[in-house]
Amino acid sequence: MSDDRTADLQNLSIDRSERPRSKWRILVWMVLLAAIGGASFIGYFVYFVDDTLQVSSTLAVSAARDSQTESVLDATGFVVARRQASVSSKVPGKVTSVLIEEGMRVEEGQLLATLDDSITRAQLALAQSQLEATRSQLSELKLRYEQATLDSERNGRLAEEGLISANELEQSQLSRETLQSAINVSAENVAVSERTVELQEKYVADMEIRAPFAGIVISKTAQPGEMIAPVAGGGGFTRTGICTIVDMDSLEVQIDVNESYINRVQPGQQVTVQLTAYPDVRMPAEVIAIIPTADRARSTVKVRVGFKQRDDRVLPDMAVKVSFLEEGEIAEMQEVPTGVVVPMSAIDTVGGNNQVWVIKDDVVGSRRVRLGDEVENDSVQILDGLRSGERVVTRLSPELKRGLVDGRAVTTI
């Protein structure tokens, strides 16, 4: 009985003889998995992450760099018009028509606008009528004078024959002299009437606003129906001008030169002017005058520069870059190359499109560009798509092109 009970207890007990072997097996598998993971991690960074490509590179340089002229001073300024006018009327009036628009070229004396001239024309008609009346009066007096002259001559003959008295002769002579005085007064009245008519004609002419000189209309400031006057009035509802005209032949450049460098500028000195808006050309100019006063607040001296040859794109108030040339240099009209220059080996042609590989923060990226002319030293001009100072990959070979992809890390050699 006791033996059976002992056997049952042994069957219920846990056999721990195999436990250590299972622990070692798990531990071995864990070590193997860790080794495989570490090898994979190292392989990933060796073969994939640390995929840095060594390339040759250069900086894109401005195409205009080689065309620069030696200068003693570079400055900035603005184009101004020496001859500019806000055209108004001589007298107040209501605008009936405006015959110009902005950008229109007008000639000297050309009609720009008209004012309401109904009253002035009526006054002119009245003055003309008065003139005709005085002329008619003068004609009548002249006829009466001729009759008085005939009467006086006839009475003189009759007096010599004793047929009339001396008193009658004197009366006829006095009458003739009276008419002569009346003729003189009437002639003066005619002259006054003529001047009155001329004055009224000028008043009518003043109702027509004409260009004082040839130029370009840059602003239109009045419309039909508005009141216009030489001086503002009416609480701000009266215009003071019809338009503003600029004589483009009077354009020049004004520059504020620092006092420290004004000794480098001389009257008659040759200058090149380059428009900021159109940097593809340098125009010849020369110093007209150095204004003999300084700006106390800014410590500058104003210099006037006149164009020797001007581009039609030059407009008032445009910003310009000015280079004062050395003594003996002659300023000439010069075309300035645009864009940048890079070696031909930096151009990658793919599917008929030209591109370059730009390096930024040690990462390369493709950029489509538009090519210009070839230049010396086996280089090419890029008109669009690349800026001066950007770094590009050079010495592109078929093997290197296959390895270049957007976003790949590179090192330069």
pLDDT in tens, the chain (413 residues): 455 555 555 555 555 554 545 556 666 667 677 667 665 555 444 444 446 788 999 998 887 765 556 789 999 999 999 999 999 988 889 999 999 999 999 999 999 999 999 999 999 999 999 999 999 999 998 998 888 888 888 888 887 877 887 888 788 888 888 889 889 999 999 999 999 999 999 999 999 999 999 999 999 999 999 998 887 655 556 778 899 999 999 999 999 999 999 999 999 999 999 999 888 889 999 999 999 999 999 999 999 999 999 888 999 999 999 999 988 888 888 877 778 899 999 999 988 899 999 999 999 999 999 998 888 888 998 988 898 889 999 999 888 888 888 989 998 87
What is the distance between the alpha carbons of residues 161 and 74, in angstroms, rounded to a whole number?
107
Q: Is 222 exposed, middle or buried (0-12, 13-18, 19+ CB in 10 A)?
A: buried
Supply the pTM of this predicted model.
Answer: 0.62
How, if at all, do strands 111-115 and 238-239 pair? unpaired
How, if at all, do strands 281-295 and 270-275 pair? antiparallel
Residue 140 tokens read as 């009548």
The three-point CA angle 402-404-410 to 5° equals 140
CA torsion 130-134-140-143 (nearest 10°) is -150
Give me the helices (H) in 207-307, please.
Answer: none
What is the distance between the alpha carbons of residues 183 and 139, in angstroms, rounded to a whole number?
9
Cβ neighbours of residue 379 closer than 8 Å, sequence gap 6 or more? 341, 342, 343, 344
